[in-house]
């Protein structure tokens, strides 16, 4: 439970759109994904906001692999 609380805090980015997308992923997807994807999400949260925002808005493509899968899930949740 402590880890989830810490991750919730890290999902708060100061950009309402990112706060919503990251928080929703944490609640809906994170508990049921593989340990490998959970670790990738933790690393994803270390990225700067402009990088994440450019990926979820489609301005730039994320690198292939788990990061790309996470971005894909974020986009599905947003309806894009």
Domain of 30, CATH number, reads 1.10.150.250
Q: Which helix (H) or strand (E) holds 27?
A: helix 16-28
The CA distance from 67 to 14, in Å, is 21
Give residue 54's domain range: 2-78
The CA distance from 58 to 33, in Å, is 24
Q: What is the mean pLDDT of the chain?
A: 91
The number of folded domains in the chain is 1
The CA distance from 8 to 38, in Å, is 13
Torsion of CA 2, 12, 45, 67, to 10 degrees: 110
The CA distance from 18 to 10, in Å, is 11
| pLDDT tens track for 17-46 | 999 999 999 999 999 999 999 999 999 999
- The pTM of this model reads 0.89
């Amino acid at each position: 439970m402590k880890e989830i609380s810490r991750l919730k805090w890290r999902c708060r980015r100061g950009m309402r759109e990112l706060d919503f997308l990251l928080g929703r992923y944490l609640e809906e997807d994170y508990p049921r994904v593989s340990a490998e994807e959970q670790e990738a999400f933790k690393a994803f949260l270390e990225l700067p906001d402009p990088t994440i925002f450019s990926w979820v808005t489609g301005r730039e493509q994320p690198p292939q692999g788990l990061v790309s899968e996470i971005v894909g899930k974020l986009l599905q949740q947003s309806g894009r």
